[in-house]
Amino acid sequence: MDKDIEQILLTEEQIQNRIRELGEVLTAEYADKNPVIVGVLKGVVVFYADMVRRIKVPCQMDFMWLSSYSGANSTGKMLVRQDVTADIAGRHVLILEDIFDTGNSLEFTVNHLKEKNPASIKICTLLDKPERRRPGVTLQADYVGFTIPNAFVVGYGLDYNEKYRNLPYVGILKPEVYTK
């Protein structure tokens, strides 16, 4: 797998250091709030597992799994493949995401969860790629691990054709891997 990586963008150590910092902020923010921490599958699993262990408050863990119809002219239409199981009405919700890219999936997720009347919703994304944002998306992440340039990245949960999720770092794929 490593041979397919052009450049390591974020090392394990950089990621873990940033998660520790975010953990202190989120621990303060969610003290006494008993948040429901919602992960958006599948890309978030690695970040989720590390992040929740740094948020040192009582909390509930939950997950959503989305399907996107990405045709040639993708309108970013989404479907809930697996909804949260917790009753989040009146609860403080923290969404964890792997990457904030076009914004389609986060926008959909926030709108979907808002309909369940939570007390609050905040977003924490490991990666933010602002250059890729779909025009018209006004949503912003409340907490960002790293702002990254417009390159396709894999590892630390992120995949290309379901591969590379288990790399411990975030790297940029070699262009020839796309064209194989």
List residues binding ligand IMP (CB under 6 A): 43, 98-106, 152-154, 158
In the region spanning residues 30 to 49, those forming contacts with Mg ion, defined by CB under 5 A, are: 43
From the CB of residue 35, how many other CB atoms can be counted at a distance below 10 Å?
23
Given ligand IMP, Mg ion, none, residue 65, with its beta carbon under 5 to 8 Å by kind, binds: none
Binding segment for Mg ion (CB under 5 A), chosen from 68-76, 92-100, 107-115, 145-153, is 92-100
CA distance 41 to 173: 21
CA distance 68 to 145: 24
Instruction: Please pick, from the candidates 9, 19, 98, 118, the single residue that binds Mg ion as defined by CB under 5 A.
Output: 98
Would residue 101 show up in a list of annotated catalytic residues for this protein? yes
Q: Which of 32, 50, 62, 101 is catalytic?
A: 101
Binding mask 141-170 for Mg ion (x = CB under 5 A): ------------------------------
SS3 of residue 165 by DSSP: coil
Nearest residue to 125 (alpha-carbon basis) of 95, 150, 155, 148: 95
Given ligand IMP, Mg ion, none, residue 102, with its beta carbon under 5 to 8 Å by kind, binds: ligand IMP
H-only helix segments in the chain: 12-29, 45-52, 104-114, 175-178
Which residue type occupies 24?
A: E
Given Mg ion, ligand IMP, none, residue 100, with its beta carbon under 5 to 8 Å by kind, binds: ligand IMP
Give the catalytic positions in this structure: 101
